[in-house]
Amino acid sequence: MREKIVASNWKMNKTLYEGLNLVRDLQMAMNGKTINCNIIVCPPFIHLASLATLTFSGIVRLGAQNCSDKASGAYTGEVSAAMLASVGIHYVILGHSERRAYYGETNAMLKEKVKLALNHVLQPIFCIGEVLAEREAGIQKEVVEKQIRESLFDLSAKEFGNIVLAYEPVWAIGTGKTATSEQAQEMHAFIRATIADKYGSAVAEETSILYGGSCNAGNAKELFTNPDVDGGLIGGASLAVETLLPIIEAFS
């Protein structure tokens, strides 16, 4: 059975105090409930070490939102995969559309980041997805296939087994416009078939593929009921317990 996951992407939100409170409140709200998915919280880099002390033995696991494409050295402002691993981080979001669009991250650069993350036993949550013009041109499958192929398909099957994918149609991120359940399932099934073509169906069946893009309490259950949707990468709705908890509980 592949893992079901609800991952929070805080982006550049929350002071340390606010972040600590959010995680503490989330842990308290889940206390005594049966939780049927893995919960990952990805705060800004600067909060990771503090949050690691809070989440040390609990159900919430931590991820970063990025890491450097270089191992170490004179790269001012960068944070390496080794540094993340050293503070007890398990996951790292790579290839988020905001990183691709605003910071020029390319498929080739992301391939380096993925390798470094895996070398330090971090599981990449690797984001893929088309922009609106590509969806309107009907080339969303080609776009997503190229992102996967150019950044991930140099990995061995064993290495690929550590990848979590997040399909995030860029036109749905932060816009309140969610992909329909059918659109999500169609793309997730296509992504799984692409993985199966390269690594075989056993690897494809074990790969968790999350949906991201205005996922919320109202649509999570319907999205997660699809056979190829294994959870969500949640932006806006992850910033408060009241909006995140119902998404987690959609895995009833």
Q: Which of 96, 98, 120, 188 is catalytic?
A: 96
Q: How many residues interact with ligand PEP (rule CB under 6 A)?
A: 13
Q: Show contacts with ligand PEP in window 141-170 (CB under 6 A).
A: 168
* 231 makes contact with ligand PEP (CB under 6 A): no
Contacting residue, 125, 152, 173, 210, with ligand PEP by CB under 6 A: 173
The string of DSSP letters for 191-212 reads HHHHHHHHH-HHHHHH--EEEE
* 234 makes contact with ligand PEP (CB under 6 A): yes
Instruction: Choose one: 24-32, 36-44, 136-144, 206-214; the region binding ligand PEP (CB under 6 A).
Output: 206-214
Instruction: Choose one: 19-27, 78-86, 153-161, 229-237; the region binding ligand PEP (CB under 6 A).
Output: 229-237
Q: Which of 98, 145, 168, 249 is catalytic?
A: 168
* 213 makes contact with ligand PEP (CB under 6 A): yes
Q: Amino acid letter at 140?
A: Q
Distance between CA atoms of residues 106 and 119, nearest Å: 20
**Residue numbers of the site for ligand PEP (CB under 6 A)?**
9, 168, 173-174, 212-215, 233-237
